[in-house]
Structures are given as structure tokens and as C-alpha cells.
Structure 1
Amino acid sequence: MALYLLVFGVCLLVIGATVAVLLSTRTPRYRTETDDLLALFDKALTSHVSESEWHTLIGYPIRHDEYLERVRRRAAHLMEEHGRRWQIAQGKPLLNATGQAELQALRDHLAAHQRLRRR
């Protein structure tokens, strides 16, 4: 009977600890920040970004900052309008010339906004 109570107590302790750990942890969240978008835009402008890296950041909604969400949507729109997915494997730019110019303007605007925010 003592062995039964010992095993029951150990099992209860392990299950209780597991439940406590599961209740105290949260789902990990990834927050896209301004620096992440600027780094992605720089890589895209120098043709060092993969399509999967682009879609990982641009395809994930930004819920904590409405301004960054608008920038992300604009970048997604640029990809839809000017994207050249089939030429990435050849080391060519992700966007055509018009898209590159618009992405450069978007990147400069985002960098200026970040500088104003830090003041």
C-alpha cells in the first residue's frame, strides 16, 4: 500500500508540474519591427533576398503598428505588380526597374519615419 501511495504521489506531482508549466507559458510571438523591414528592403535592393525570406516577412500581418502594416501592404503590392519571381534563381533582382525605384522610395520613407520616431 505504501508503494502504491508513493507511485500515486509521484505521478500526481509530475502531472501537476506539467499542467503548471503549460498554464504559465504563452505562445511565442514574432513582432516585425522597422529595422527588420529596412534590412529586408536593403537585401531586396541589392538582390540578396530569397523569395521565401521576402514572403516570410511581407506575408505576416503586423498588428502592433498600423504604419508598419501599411508599409508591409505596400511592399506586398509592389511584389504583385512588379515582382519577377522566376529570375531570383539567376541572381537577378526581385523586382523590375520600376518596382526597384518604388521600393527604394518606400525604404527611404520608412527610414525617415524611423529617424523622426527616435527623436
Structure 2
Amino acid sequence: MAEFLVVFLISLLFIGGLVVALAYGRAPTWRPDRRKVLALMQQVQVGEARRDAWEMFVGLPVLHDPELEQIRRRCVAIHEGDETHPPAGEGLEPYLYDRAARARLLEVEKDLELLIRKEPFFRRF
């Protein structure tokens, strides 16, 4: 009987903890802001970007920021190619892309810097 109570109490605590975690937890989300994307693009330029971070940015839509989504789509066009340009070539070891693709990416990076400069400034009190 004592074993039953121990197993029952441990199971009850485990299930209760699971219910609390599911009730108050939230689903994982990916919401990059413009400055983080700019830092990622600068890392791509100097060869310090991780491939998985870049592919996450290129592969997942940015639903919370329409202007940043347009930047992402331009990066996808560089990555996959479009009507006027072939897909971006692989770069030598530290770089994700070749020089031509990085030059095209630099134009997008400048537009993102302009977007960040035009961003409204607000302060919480």
C-alpha cells in the first residue's frame, strides 16, 4: 500500500507540473528585430555568420514586420536566384557566399540600415 501511495504522489506531482507548464508556457516563436538581422548580415559579410542562423532567417517568414519581410525576400532572391541573377555561389571557407553574392547582399544591408535610421524612436517611462 505504501508503494502505491509513493507512485501515486510522484505521478500526481509529475502530471500537475506538466499541466502547469502547458498552461503558463507559450509556444516558441522566432521574432527577429531589424538590428539583429543587420548584425547577421554584417557577420555574413565578414565570414563570421553561422550557416544555421542565416538559413533560419532566409527560410522562415517574418510576419510581424512587413519591411523586414521585404528585406528577407530580397535575401532569398540572392540565395536562390531570380530572373536576372543566378543563385548565390558558395564562398570559400569562412564565407557563406562568393564575392558577387556578398556585393549584392551589401546593397540590401544598406537598405536595412536606412530602415533602421528611419525607425521611430520611443522611450518607456
Report the Cα offset of residue 23 of structure 1. 1.6
Q: Residue 72 of structure 2 aligns to a residue in which SS?
A: helix
Give the deviation of 1:39 after TM superposition: 0.9
Greater shift after overlay, 44-53 or 66-75? 44-53
State the Cα distance separating 1:11 from its structure 2 match.
5.7
The question of whether the paired residues in 1 share the 8 Å contact of 2:89 and 2:98 is answered with yes
Instruction: After TM superposition, give the deviation of residue 54 of structure 1 in Å.
Output: 1.7
Structure having the larger proportion of residues in helix? 1
Distance in 1, matches of 2:120 and 2:31, equals 18
Could you say which residue in structure 1 is the equivalent of 2:68? 68
Residue 76 of structure 1: how far off its partner (Å): 1.1
Structure 2: give runs of 5+ residues left out of the alignment.
82-86
Residue 96 of structure 1 is matched in structure 2 by 99
The answer to whether the Cα contact below 8 Å between 1:79 and 1:95 also exists between their aligned partners in 2 is no
After superposition, the CA RMSD in angstroms is 2.7
* Number of aligned residues: 115
Q: Deviations over 1:31-73 (max 9, x none)?
A: 1110121111111222332433321222121111111111001
- Check 1:77–1:8 CA distance in 2 against 1; reply closer, same or farther (3 A cut): same
- Spell out the pairing of 1:7-46 with structure 2 (5 A cutoff): 10=9, 13-14=12-13, 15-46=15-46
Moved over 4 A (4+): 6-9
Greater CA radius of gyration, 1 or 2? 1
Q: Which residue of structure 2 aligns with residue 77 of structure 1?
A: 77
Structure 1 stretch 73-82 or stretch 60-69: which is displaced more?
73-82
* Partner Cα distance (1:117, 1:48) in 2: 27
Identity of aligned residues (%): 26
CA–CA distance in structure 2, aligned partners of residues 69 and 46 of structure 1 = 23
Q: Which runs of 5+ in 1 are unaligned?
A: none
**SS at 2:119's partner residue?**
helix
**More relative contact order in 1 or in 2 (CA 8 Å, sep 6+)?**
1
